[in-house]
Amino acid sequence: MAKSTQNIKNTKSDIQWEINGLLLISFGVLGIFSIYTNAVGAVGNFISKNFKGFAGQAAVLIPILVILAGVYCLYYKKKPNISFRTIGLLIIFTVTVLLIHLKPHANMIEKNFINRLRTSADIGVEGVGGGILGEIGLSFLISIFGTTGSTILMITFVIIGIILITGKPLTGLIQKIKPSIKNKNIPINPPSQNKNIKVITNMIDESSVCENDNRGIEEDAILKNREENQTKKLEKDREVKEEPIIINGDNDEEKKYKLPPVSLLHKNTIKQGGFSEKELLNSAQTLENTLESFGLQAKVIQVNCGPTITRFEVQPSPGTKVSRIVNLADDIALSLAASDVRIEAPIPGKAAIGIEVPNKAKSPVYLRDVLESTEFRTSISKLTIALGKDIGGNPMVTDLSEMPHLLIAGATGSGKSVCINSIISSILYKAYPNEVKFMMIDPKVVELAVYDGIPHLLTPVVTDAKKAAVALNWMVTEMERRYQAFAKEGVREIARYNEVNNEKPMPKILVIIDELADLMMVSPREVEDSICRLAQMARAAGIHLVVATQRPSVDIITGLIKANIPSRISFAVSSQIDSRTILDISGAEKLLGKGDMLFFPVGASKPTRIQGAYISEEEVENLVDFSKKQREPKYEKNLSDFNEIEVDNKRHEESDELFHEAVSLVLDSGQASISMLQRRLRIGYARAARLIDEMEECGFIGGYEGTKPREILITKEYFDEYINNQ
């Protein structure tokens, strides 16, 4: 009887464990479907957000571990033991999460711990990084062992986890792997050909080599796998939801403002252009034969197919002068039937020369392609800008705050205005109105007018070249005011100031000048002095310049401006002289136009060739409308009357009521400056500027002389007599 009762109890226990196992397996399968699809409804959405927020890209490992636990319960009819194998699985899971989170953690290092946790959870939900678990683990490890020490420690734990899972010592595992390595048939072609493979075998797919044995290993080796460079990367990067890229906000007003979704931009549906495999092979062979006909022994070791051009990487034989190949540019263009050829000699970081040939069919690069990339989404900076794609089809994303100013030049129709639109749009996708402010100066009137009314503007778009000089002067005053505020708080830069004053943080300011030439024709000295002062000192104050011009001549891009704006972008120009004016090197004269650019950031040894991201007028209007509907712009009080300032040579009919007091202050202090009048009379910049202009028109003070103070031309006695005569 007792035995029968015991059997009944065992049967009930087995049924219970089977039910538990099935429930765990079901929950694990639901978790996997929740992470990768929207087919599980509200519950699935909840599971997906929590799993991804906790473990980021490694979230799928959580339901897999649950399924393994369910299988164990179903098979063994008992609770899973905490064995060495279980510990090994948990170690592998944890270390995987930490390794995935290394790059996002490095991008967030400037934030405090709580903000890093929030950002990690946000980007984890988007499938980037290792979520909250990755941030907590890395913060602990790196604070004790540093980045290098933590990496070594994590690799060690991976090995320990493998040993615990397999239950075999490391020496036994190595001995088991050795025979399989020895028996592997590595050579595909005769040994005599293997000398030329070592440099380039890692560039191609083994499967493609096996499938094309009859073609020869050297032919396969020169073909860069374009799908690996572009299609595969886009598949990984384009898992983006139709929602703002980064969500942040310090107050209720900012939380109500939503960053624009990428669905406002057009999706690229055009297939990759360029050359076919056969054409690439023939071109590579033609290139080698052409060089050989001039007595130069060289070999094509790699081919990179980009959106606009294809670059053949040529390795010359020892003793060959690089200049000899560079001088053959026209002959190479003739042999390849190309419109033009640009030669980069040598390629930075490689023992090769790059020969860039235009594609027969160009592939457009849309701004959405770059905004959806991992590089853009994981960047923390509010001044992250999407430029386009490089020769290999990789997204080019950079931080404007590190440049810290940018000069853009190129001929008419080469892509400058589209580039500026891409820069502005990138920042609108990253920053809230209280984080970044724009001052837009557009003497051409029509280029930036579309942005009038967005909440990020400090002032309406300035379209009068004369008023633009006043705007730049105000920006210099704002820079000085910020440095005075920094001095009071004992800090050196805006990031530290905002940490100390987190209740009223200063926004970063981006000054965009769409046509420098018009400003230099109207007020050359004032504009040059203001730009140079801002370029020299404004970085730490959070003020950055983007200056564009279609006249890259020395009277527009002066030596002072070039010296103070080290980061530059050059689009196609008409001559080598123009290229040297912008970049200090030739090469821009060989660009193809339509967004083809050379990007030369500060600190780089050579410029990078990029196909600029394209954004249409319709997309810009959609983006602007989205921002305008959410909030009205709050213009700076001292700037709101820019468009009312009269800057001409006629004397004002009605004198300012503070005019006499202002002249007395100038005579007493011995200096005639706008900032002094602002402080002493407690008035805005525009009114102080009008008072100075009126004094100059009356002949009381001299004209503007750049960094030199204005000369005072009258005495107190003369001014007293002037008042009495009135």
Task: Say whether 413 counts as a known binding-site residue.
Answer: yes
pLDDT digits (tens, 9 = 90+) for 347-366: 887 888 888 888 887 888 89
410 labeled part of a ligand binding site: yes
CA distance 221 to 411: 39
Residue 698 has pLDDT above 60, yes or no: yes
Task: Return the pLDDT at 51.
Answer: 82
User: Nearest CA to 226 among 270, 288, 275?
Assistant: 275
Average pLDDT over residues 541-555: 89
Q: Please answer whether residues 122 and 246 qualify as being in contact, where contact means their C-beta atoms are separated by less than 8 angstroms.
A: yes
What are the two backbone dihedrals, phi and then psi, of residue 211, each rounded to the nearest 5 degrees?
Answer: -75, -15
pLDDT of residue 650 exceeding 50, the answer is: no
> Binning pLDDT at 50, 70 and 90, where does residue 406 land?
very high
pLDDT higher than 50, residue 329: yes
* Residue that has been written with the tokens 């107050």 in this structure: 251
% of the chain at pLDDT higher than 70: 82
pLDDT at 300 over 70: yes
Whether 331 has a pLDDT exceeding 90, the answer reads no
Q: Residue 415, annotated ligand binder?
A: yes
pLDDT for residue 184? 37
Whether 22 shows a pLDDT value over 90: the answer reads: no
pLDDT of amino acid 600: 92
Average pLDDT on 489-515 reads: 89
417 among the known binding-site residues?
yes
Distance of CA 637 to the CA centre of its chain: 32
Task: Please name the residue ranges forming H helices in 37-130.
Answer: 41-55, 61-76, 84-100, 102-107, 113-125
- pLDDT tens digit sequence for 572-582: 998 888 898 89
Judged against a pLDDT cut of 90, whether residue 504 lies above it is answered with no
Going across the sheet that includes 384-390, the strands are 395-399, 384-390, 608-612, 596-600, 567-570, 406-409, 543-549, 508-513, 436-441
- Give the pLDDT score at 425: 94
Which amino acid is it at 624?
V
pLDDT tier at 285, thresholds 50, 70, 90 = confident
pLDDT at 173: 58
Residue 412, annotated as binding a ligand: yes
Report the pLDDT averaged over residues 143-160.
85
Domains observed in the chain: 12-173 (no CATH), 277-358 (3.30.980.40), 367-630 (3.40.50.300), 648-725 (1.10.10.10)
Question: Is 459 marked within a binding site?
Answer: no
pLDDT band at 570 (very low <50, low <70, confident <90, very high): very high
Joined together, the tokens standing for residue 18 give 């089977």
Tell me phi and psi for residue 622, to 5 degrees: -60, -45
pLDDT confidence bin for 370, thresholds 50/70/90: very high
Mean pLDDT is lowest, of 49-58, 105-114, 126-135, for 105-114
* Reported confidence tier of residue 246, pLDDT bands at 50, 70, 90: very low
In angstroms, the CA 242 to CA 428 distance is 16
pLDDT computed for residue 387 by the predictor: 93
CB distance 674 to 692 below 8 Å? yes
Q: Is the pLDDT of residue 278 over 90?
A: no
**Token couple for 212:** 């094309």
The answer on pLDDT for 2 being more than 80 is: no
- Is the confidence at residue 34, as pLDDT, over 90? no
Name which residue leads in pLDDT, 173 or 466. 466
Residue 421 is predicted with a pLDDT of: 93
Closest by CA to 442, choosing from 476, 422, 416, 414, is 416
pLDDT of 259 higher than 60: yes
Contact predicate 579/586, CB 8 Å: yes
Where residue 649 falls among pLDDT bands split at 50, 70, 90? very low
DSSP strand E in 190-308: where? 298-305
Per-residue pLDDT, averaged over 616-635, amounts to 90
- pLDDT value of residue 305: 84
pLDDT in tens, 596-606: 999 999 888 88
pLDDT in the model for residue 27: 84
pLDDT, position 185: 36
pLDDT tens digits for range 81-90 = 677 777 888 8
Whether pTM > 0.75 for this model: the answer is: no
Going by pLDDT thresholds of 50, 70 and 90, the confidence category of residue 383 is very high
Mean pLDDT of the 615-640 span: 84
Task: State the chain's mean pLDDT as an integer.
Answer: 79
Distance from chain centroid for Cα 498: 23
pLDDT at 713: 83
Confidence of residue 639 (pLDDT cuts 50, 70, 90): low
pLDDT over 70 at 198, yes or no: no
> What pLDDT was estimated at residue 451?
92
